[in-house]
């Protein structure tokens, strides 16, 4: 005899690897959290394994159910205990162990009462009714169905449960030839079926309605329900019911002598039954086909049915099918095969009785263990209730402290942010005051004197003390002063706007050379007056990523400065270098003019700093300051190199456009 350890190892070997891995993964969060959702997920895996093993290996389905029950017991998961016990009860019913299935179901009702789950209590009452009906205890079955209906009266929305109960009652009365009462319940079930989604129960109900109309000799009405089932069940989730519907329709056609339609339905049903491992259905189809087939084909069908019987793991189904095989072989005149099938049926029935006795003994022990375990659980729950109250109080106090601490942290954070904003606003206000002071200083420095000089010149001009040549000189000077004052005012307004409102930076990729050439052309008259040659060496296609208005302003001012400080017949070069700085283009405006002394270089980017040019040109003292600000805003810089007597070069950098990097 194999040892228990060896038996367990053999059983574990039968568990698919994917199922072992899935159970292991589900166990990890259960160990960490013990959450009901985790238990629910693991029980769902056990249920899938049970369902998959039902048609192929009945021992495996029992094993999975028992393992699921042990898991639920060890984790005090009552819902899981009820579901796994129900799985075992369903297996018991399939194998004819009706009393054992009933005892399990009664225990399940107790579990659901603990959970106050009326819906599942009613469902189990229904199940017990089917067990009593199978044992021909009709009155007991009706009593259980009535109890289920009373429970459903308190659950108004459970149309599916009420429909199932009406169907079971209708089926019971139909089996007892009480067609009128059967019709009342089945019609009630049909009305409820319209309120629920299509399911296996819907298909079973239509089969019962077909049987009802056959009992009333209304074959066409029965056919409508059977055909309706073919349409309703033709979905992936009802594939097994679809096979059963095709089989039932085939039986209908066969009983009415339409063999071709019957064979067509059975072929389609057989195809599904083979894919889904529905062994019982395969045998039923083969037995029916053997009855109407030619002898040579009938023998093939019966041999195939015998082969399927031998590999089935459901003893009760095997016993029934061997009995049907014995009858079929006897009709075919194959008496030796009939004797073999009959002996196999007897052997299996004896084996079932022995197994049932062993299982009953085992189940009684399991039930006692379950009761003892649940009793212990209740004691532990009572014991832990006091601890739970204390833990709840501690938890509430802790939560209150956490909320208070969180509130303090939030208030501190908000206060800190408000202080930062206040400091920032104070800085901005101080900067605005400084800007205001700069504006007034510039107005007093650069605008007051030119305006006063314009007023004085106009006053002298009005006195008529000058001749025409002198008046022309005065008028020309007046134009020069007015132009300079206008330029100063424009730059002053542009600079003031950039400081007080913030210059809107709109960086875009653009080609540099056209902007440079445009400014060279704009200053053409000034360069002609001093015979200065301007060379635009910016290559075609060179693009930068900057605000083009800033770029244009910088080029225009640097070119104006170069013209201003270059002697007659001098030269100005505008170049671009893409290698001096990484990802930058360095532009330069070089002249061979006066150069800038070191003392002036230190203050050259300060406001109000300006000197006269080689032709006594005057400046505003603001252009270079704005040029440097704009270069920095665009991600670059502006600097100068100069030698007195040799000339000056202003450099400014701008980012390269993305395609040129």
275-305 pLDDT, tens digit per residue, is 888 888 888 888 888 777 776 677 788 778 8
Q: What pLDDT is stored for residue 594 in this prediction?
A: 85
Span 554-581, average pLDDT: 91
Look at residue 627 and tell me if it is in a domain: yes
Look at residue 445 and tell me if it is in a domain: no
Look at residue 553 and tell me if it is in a domain: yes
297-345 pLDDT, tens digit per residue, is 777 887 788 788 777 766 776 777 778 778 877 877 888 888 888 888 8
Q: What pLDDT is stored for residue 500 in this prediction?
A: 57
The total number of structural domains in the chain stands at: 3
DSSP character at residue 238:
G
- CA dist 157 and 446 (Å) reads 90
Look at residue 470 and tell me if it is in a domain: no
Q: Bridge-partner residues for 510, per DSSP?
A: 544
Query: Which of 184-188, 410-414, 616-620 reaches the highest mean pLDDT?
Result: 184-188
Look at residue 516 and tell me if it is in a domain: yes
Q: What pLDDT is stored for residue 182 in this prediction?
A: 94
Last residue of one domain, picked from the residues 67, 95, 112: 112
- CA dist 332 and 298 (Å) reads 9
487-507 pLDDT, tens digit per residue, is 667 656 665 665 555 556 788
Look at residue 608 and tell me if it is in a domain: yes
- Residue 112 and residue 151 in contact, taking contact as beta carbons nearer than 8 Å: no
Q: What pLDDT is stored for residue 16 in this prediction?
A: 54
Q: Which two tokens stand for residue 106?
A: 């009664």
Q: What pLDDT is stored for residue 505 in this prediction?
A: 77
Percent of the residues in the chain that have a pLDDT greater than 70, as a whole number:
77
Last residue of one domain, picked from the residues 95, 112, 129: 112
Q: What pLDDT is stored for residue 296 in this prediction?
A: 67
Beta strand extents in 27-170 (DSSP E only): none
User: Which CATH number is 579's domain given?
Assistant: 3.30.565.10
Parallel, antiparallel, or unpaired for β 638-643 and 571-577?
A: unpaired
Domain that holds residue 97: 1-112
Q: What pLDDT is stored for residue 153 in this prediction?
A: 87
Look at residue 272 and tell me if it is in a domain: no
Reported confidence tier of residue 373, pLDDT bands at 50, 70, 90: low
Count, in order, helices (H) and strands (E) of the chain: 25, 7
- CA dist 313 and 192 (Å) reads 37
Q: What is the largest CA-CA distance in the chain?
A: 155
Q: What pLDDT is stored for residue 3 in this prediction?
A: 43
Beta strand extents in 408-511 (DSSP E only): 508-511
Which residue is associated with the tokens 């979905």? 235
Q: What pLDDT is stored for residue 59 in this prediction?
A: 67
Integer-rounded Cα radius of gyration of the chain: 50
Reported confidence tier of residue 24, pLDDT bands at 50, 70, 90: very low
Last residue of one domain, picked from the residues 112, 135, 163: 112
Q: What pLDDT is stored for residue 523 in this prediction?
A: 80
User: Which CATH number is 334's domain given?
Assistant: 1.25.40
Mean pLDDT taken over the chain:
81
Q: What is the model's pTM?
A: 0.50
Look at residue 9 and tell me if it is in a domain: yes
128-171 pLDDT, tens digit per residue, is 999 999 999 999 999 999 999 999 988 878 899 999 999 999 99
- CA dist 133 and 142 (Å) reads 8
Q: What pLDDT is stored for residue 529 in this prediction?
A: 80
Q: What pLDDT is stored for residue 407 in this prediction?
A: 87
The answer to whether residue 62 scores a pLDDT higher than 90 is: no
Q: What pLDDT is stored for residue 526 in this prediction?
A: 77
Reported confidence tier of residue 533, pLDDT bands at 50, 70, 90: very high
């Amino acid at each position: 005899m194999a040892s228990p350890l060896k038996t367990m190892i053999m059983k574990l070997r039968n568990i698919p690897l994917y199922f072992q891995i899935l159970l292991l993964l589900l166990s990890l969060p259960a160990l960490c959290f013990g959450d009901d959702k985790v238990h629910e997920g693991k029980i769902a895996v056990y249920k899938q394994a049970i369902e998959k093993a039902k048609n192929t290996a009945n021992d495996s389905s029992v094993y999975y159910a028992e393992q699921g029950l042990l898991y639920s017991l060890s984790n005090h998961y009552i819902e899981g205990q009820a579901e796994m016990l129900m799985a075992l009860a369903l297996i018991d019913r399939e194998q004819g162990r009706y009393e054992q299935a009933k005892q399990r179901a009664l225990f399940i009702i107790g579990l659901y009462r603990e959970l106050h789950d009326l819906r599942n209590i009613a469902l189990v009452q229904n199940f017990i009714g089917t067990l009593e009906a199978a044992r021909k205890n009709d009155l007991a079955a009706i009593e259980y169905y009535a109890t289920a209906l009373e429970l459903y009266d308190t659950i108004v929305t459970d149309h599916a449960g009420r429909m199932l109960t009406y169907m079971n009652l209708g089926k019971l009365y139909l089996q007892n030839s009480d067609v009128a009462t059967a019709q009342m319940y089945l019609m009630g079930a049909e009305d409820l079926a319209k309120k629920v989604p299509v399911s296996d129960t819907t298909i079973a109900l239509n089969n019962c309605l077909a049987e009802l109309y056959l009992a009333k000799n209304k074959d066409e009405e029965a056919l409508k329900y059977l055909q309706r089932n073919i349409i309703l069940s033709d979905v992936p989730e009802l594939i097994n019911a679809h096979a059963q519907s095709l089989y039932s329709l085939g039986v209908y056609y066969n009983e009415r002598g339409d063999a071709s339609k019957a064979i067509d339905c059975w072929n389609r049903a057989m195809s599904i039954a083979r894919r889904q491992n529905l062994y019982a259905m395969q045998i039923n189809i083969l037995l029916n086909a053997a009855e109407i087939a030619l002898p040579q084909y009938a023998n093939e069908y019966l041999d195939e049915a015998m082969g399927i019987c031998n590999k089935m793991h459901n003893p009760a189904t095997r016993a029934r099918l061997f009995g049907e095989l014995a009858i079929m072989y006897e009709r075919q005149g194959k008496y030796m095969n009939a004797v073999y099938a009959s002996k196999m049926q007897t052997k299996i029935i004896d084996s079932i009785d022995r197994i049932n006795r062993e299982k009953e003994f085992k189940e009684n022990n399991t039930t006692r263990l379950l009761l003892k375990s649940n009793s212990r659980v209740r004691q532990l729950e009572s014991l832990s209730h006091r601890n739970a109250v204390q833990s709840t109080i501690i938890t509430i106090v802790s939560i209150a402290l956490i909320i208070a601490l969180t509130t303090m942290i939030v208030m501190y954070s908000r206060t800190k942010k408000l202080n930062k904003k206040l400091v920032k606003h104070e800085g901005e206000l101080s900067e605005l005051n400084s800007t205001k002071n700069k504006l007034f200083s510039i107005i007093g420095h650069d605008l007051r004197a030119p305006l006063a000089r314009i007023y004085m010149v106009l006053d002298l001009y009005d006195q008529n003390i000058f001749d025409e040549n002198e008046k022309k000189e005065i008028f020309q000077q007046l134009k020069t002063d007015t132009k300079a004052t206008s330029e100063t005012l424009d730059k002053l307004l542009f600079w003031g706007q950039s400081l007080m409102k913030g210059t809107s930076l709109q960086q875009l990729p653009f080609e540099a050379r056209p902007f440079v050439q445009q400014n060279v052309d704009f200053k053409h008259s000034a360069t002609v007056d001093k015979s200065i040659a301007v060379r635009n060496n910016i290559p075609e296609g060179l693009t930068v990523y900057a605000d083009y208005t800033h770029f244009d302003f910088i080029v225009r001012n640097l070119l104006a400065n170069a013209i201003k400080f270059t002697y007659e017949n001098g030269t100005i070069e505008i170049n671009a270098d893409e290698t001096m700085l990484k990802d930058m283009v360095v532009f330069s405006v070089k002249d061979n003019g006066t150069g800038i002394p070191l003392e002036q270089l230190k203050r050259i980017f300060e406001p109000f700093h300006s000197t006269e040019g080689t032709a006594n040109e005057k400046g505003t003292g603001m252009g270079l300051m704005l040029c440097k600000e704009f270069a920095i805003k665009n991600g670059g810089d502006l600097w100068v190199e100069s030698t007195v007597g040799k000339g000056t070069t202003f450099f400014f950098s701008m980012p390269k456009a993305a395609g040129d990097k």
